[in-house]
Amino acid sequence: MLKYFLLFFYLLLLSILTIPFFNLPWWLDNLSNLILMCIALLMIATQFLILSFKYRSIIFIFPSIFLISYHLIPSFYFSKPNEIQKSKSYQFIQANLSYYNKHIEKFFNKTKSLNSDFMFIFEYSDRNREMFLNLADGKHMYGYDELQGFPSGIAVISKYPIIYSHLHKAKSKSKSKSAEILELKFYDKNINTIIHSFLLHPPSPRTYDKWKVRNNTFKKLTTLVEANNSQHTLIVGDINVSPWSFHFPKIKSFNPCYKGQGYLTSWKLKNDFPKSLISSFIDHCFFNQGFLLNNYSHIEIKGSDHQALVYQLQLVIK
């Protein structure tokens, strides 16, 4: 009896790994955020399946190997173009600090040595507005001005001047508040180059309405980017969706930063075990063919349930 319960559990895990292939109801789609956990459980269960069913277990192991490979290979392998002309590189820090974080200054002190060119911050509270001015330390900012007011909790610090900004509303028919997409252009006068960016933080899909708002935001993002794509464009955000969701943004000529890097979690429920095992990968950056990713890593943020993304993008000259 026990071995058939194991088989049922195994098939259940296998079925969860097929979720990215289908446009499913919101509560099932949310399970895609836990696919890493399912893969780990599937690997453990495979050993017991072999002990229980011997050679007959091969019937179930083959689809398991295929699905695990499909989900994990892009994270560890990504082919890069060889013959390209490279130019200047920029250092980026992307962090969800959490609205109620009491250790914001510690995070800025921790990252000061990284000498970032751009810092994209999410869940920055208006209550810390004056602190933001001090933390920017004379650099260019977005969010500090009262008319800007950190839309959707987005704040930006840049070594380069912001020459264009526009806040796009992603309208929704649901009862939830519409999400916003912040479009910014930075100008590097030393090489006469514009860095074009789109920043977003759609709601966490905890309800059907919020799930719809998030998905509509992705549709709006795709339309905006495809219509206004510059030579050097990137997309950044805590987008509250994992790469294994059917609704994960797939924008033509854009690559997600995680491909080939092997870093697979950016959020966890709690820092203490065993709650830390409940984790997902919902913070992302994407870049078009005007960039080449050189370095990519995650660092801890005290007071936040997210990790910060630290990466370096190099300009590609065609």
Distances (CA, A) of 256 to 141, 248, 260, 283: 25, 10, 10, 11
For residue 86, name the pLDDT band (cuts at 50, 70, 90).
Answer: confident
- The reply to whether 134 and 181 lie within a common domain is yes
Asked if residue 177 has pLDDT above 70, the reply is: no
State the residue range of the domain holding 16.
2-76
Higher pLDDT, 175 or 126: 126
Phi then psi dihedrals of residue 62, to 5 deg: -60, -50
User: What percentage of the chain reaches a pLDDT higher than 70?
Assistant: 94
Tokens coding 206: 């905890």
- The reply to whether 133 and 222 lie within a common domain is yes
- The reply to whether 162 and 232 lie within a common domain is yes
Distances (CA, A) of 221 to 105, 126, 275: 32, 25, 33
**What one-character DSSP code corresponds to residue 306?**
B
Asked if residue 274 has pLDDT above 90, the reply is: no
- The reply to whether 115 and 208 lie within a common domain is yes
CA–CA separation, 165 and 255 (whole Å) = 24
Number of domains in the chain: 2
- The reply to whether 39 and 181 lie within a common domain is no
- The reply to whether 58 and 119 lie within a common domain is no
Asked if residue 175 has pLDDT above 70, the reply is: no
One-letter amino acid at 12 equals L
- The reply to whether 117 and 141 lie within a common domain is yes
Tokens coding 8: 């049922």
For residue 318, name the pLDDT band (cuts at 50, 70, 90).
Answer: low
Which distant-in-sequence residues (6+ apart) come within 8 Å of 117 by Cβ?
90, 91, 92, 158, 159, 160
Higher pLDDT, 15 or 82: 15
Can you list the positions of beta strands (E) in 104-262? 118-122, 140-142, 155-158, 162-170, 179-188, 193-200, 233-238, 255-256
CA–CA separation, 287 and 285 (whole Å) = 7
Mean pLDDT of the chain: 91
Buried b / exposed e over 99-131, threshold 16 CB at 10 Å, is eebeebeebbeebeeeebbbbbbbbbbeebbee
pTM across the whole model: 0.93
pLDDT tens for each residue of 116-160: 999 999 999 999 999 999 999 999 999 998 878 899 999 999 999
- The reply to whether 197 and 222 lie within a common domain is yes
Is 186:197 a contact under the CB 8 Å cutoff? yes
pLDDT tens for each residue of 32-73: 988 999 999 999 999 999 998 888 889 999 999 999 999 999
pLDDT tens for each residue of 194-247: 999 999 999 999 999 999 999 999 999 999 999 987 999 999 999 999 999 999
Query: How high is the pLDDT of residue 269?
Result: 74
Tokens coding 207: 């309800």
- The reply to whether 265 and 120 lie within a common domain is yes
- The reply to whether 280 and 248 lie within a common domain is yes
CA dihedral 102, 105, 108, 109 (to 10 degrees): -130
**Mean pLDDT computed over 254-274:** 85
Asked if residue 176 has pLDDT above 60, the reply is: no
Query: How high is the pLDDT of residue 275?
Result: 66
Which distant-in-sequence residues (6+ apart) come within 8 Å of 262 by Cβ?
75, 76
**Mean pLDDT computed over 304-309:** 96
